[in-house]
Structure 1
Amino acid sequence: MINDAALLPKPTLTGRRLRLVPLSVRHAEHFWHATQDPEIRRLTGTRREFTLAEIEEWCTTRADQPDRLDLAVEDLDGGYLGELALIDLDRDNRSAAFRIALVPTATGRGLGTEAIGLLLDHAFTAVGLHRVHLEVYDLNPRAQRAYRKAGFTLEGRLRESHHWDGHWHDTLLMAALSTEHRAATPTPAAT
């Protein structure tokens, strides 16, 4: 059973080097700048140009969404590192889709893996999800490594489903299951 109280109000989740906080209008300008970065756009497949006003409206409404979880990734001093979300909640099957986008200065340091781990812990223990799935393009091996480290398993491939900059790319389908996550996460007594 899904625990709606774990989705609204939005939680703050704190890790060793970062915290996940409710996405709000205070993140809008940083979020908007990230959507303008050519590398982030390439890795996420973002084609649409967003205005700052659109991003501000988006960030302002996230806290009121009862069927999804949008969080900003911050360092422990409150610096913006990116955002992540649980979306497309399927209550009957206790599953949701996942996405994350970090700013370029936050990549390559294991911060994505830490953020994903915090979100998966919350999704599986507090929200009550059984499965969290995602799509990642084959042109993003760094993200694939982070997802594998966080417990996602490759489930399938959509061949040549994404066209970017004159080239065809595969979309990889990955998922993490609560049963595997619990088995891989040490209990306090075991540490």
Structure 2
Amino acid sequence: MIDLSRKPVLKGNKTILRPFKEEDLPAIEECLQDPEVLKLTGSADDFDKELVREWYITRNEQTDRLDLAIVDAKHNVVVGEAVANLYDQETESMNFRILIGPRGRDNGLGTEATQLMVDYLFTNTSLQQLTLSVFDFNPRAKRVYEKVGFVKNSVDKDDLEFEGEWIDSINMKLVKEDWLRNRRD
């Protein structure tokens, strides 16, 4: 089993990843209600403020997952979240996802936050790989994941119906051995 009870603070040049605080809720609510976030994550727009509040105030208590707020270091504002969840003991693997709201886009924050989280997980846990899924109509996220070292593993055809069109989901993974090799190069 993996133990992620310790919630770190990870500092980069542009971002800080840290445990959630109750005062982060308005910024997270903004992210979760953003039309682009809803589209690119395939989420419904049935926002329930109390449910969201309950979810985020319990993230720091979780021992089998890591949920961190992404803070734009320059403006000291929460712009999203980085999450490692769904631990698979057999493959020593976890799912990774990131969400960046409107205040954090197109500034390299997602790339740095992803790199910080990956580095932390592979350095401080026994994980051997990280996996993720990204919808094919999200080129920004695909570029971020590829920059960090994730590679396409498979495709789930027609995984999401959006505005009458079917969108594929691209499954990607990053193996610790490849991450180590790329760090040395």
Query: TM-score of the superposition, structure 1-length normalised?
Result: 0.91
Are residue 13 (structure 1) and residue 6 (structure 2) matched? no
Aligned counterpart, 1:37: 34
In the alignment, is the contact (CA less than 8 A) between 1:29 and 1:56 conserved in 2?
no
Matches of 2:84 and 2:36, distance apart in 1: 23
Aligned counterpart, 1:158: 156
Are residue 59 (structure 1) and residue 56 (structure 2) matched? yes
In the alignment, is the contact (CA less than 8 A) between 2:31 and 2:79 conserved in 1?
no
Q: Partner of 2:82: helix, strand, or coil? A: strand
Q: Partner of 2:58: helix, strand, or coil? A: helix
Matches of 1:106 and 1:75, distance apart in 2: 7
Structure 1 residue ranges without an equivalent (≥5): none
In the alignment, is the contact (CA less than 8 A) between 1:75 and 1:81 conserved in 2?
yes
Matches of 1:16 and 1:184, distance apart in 2: 20
Matches of 1:8 and 1:94, distance apart in 2: 17
Matches of 1:136 and 1:143, distance apart in 2: 7
Aligned counterpart, 1:125: 123
Are residue 26 (structure 1) and residue 23 (structure 2) matched? yes
* AA aligned opposite 1:52: K
Following superposition of structure 1 onto structure 2, how do residues 1-191 of structure 1 map, counting pairs within 5 Å?
A: 2=2, 4=3, 7-76=4-73, 77-186=75-184
In the alignment, is the contact (CA less than 8 A) between 1:24 and 1:62 conserved in 2?
no
Moved more, 99-108 or 141-150: 99-108
Q: Partner of 1:81: helix, strand, or coil? A: strand
How far the C-alpha of 1:92 sits from its partner, in A, is: 2.9
Q: Partner of 2:86: helix, strand, or coil? A: strand
Q: Render the CA deviation track for 1:140-181: whole Å, top value 9, x for unaligned.
A: 011000100011000111111110111100000001111111
Q: Please give the root-mean-square deviation of Cα atoms over the aligned residues, in Å.
A: 1.5
Q: Partner of 1:132: helix, strand, or coil? A: strand
Matches of 2:162 and 2:56, distance apart in 1: 27
Matches of 1:25 and 1:177, distance apart in 2: 34
* AA aligned opposite 1:148: E
Q: Render the CA deviation track for 1:48-74: whole Å, top value 9, x for unaligned.
A: 522222111111100111110000000
* AA aligned opposite 1:65: Q
Query: TM-score of the superposition, structure 2-length normalised?
Result: 0.94
Q: Indicate the percent of aligned positions where both proteins have the same amino acid.
A: 35
Matches of 1:78 and 1:8, distance apart in 2: 25
Q: Partner of 2:52: helix, strand, or coil? A: helix
Matches of 2:116 and 2:131, distance apart in 1: 15
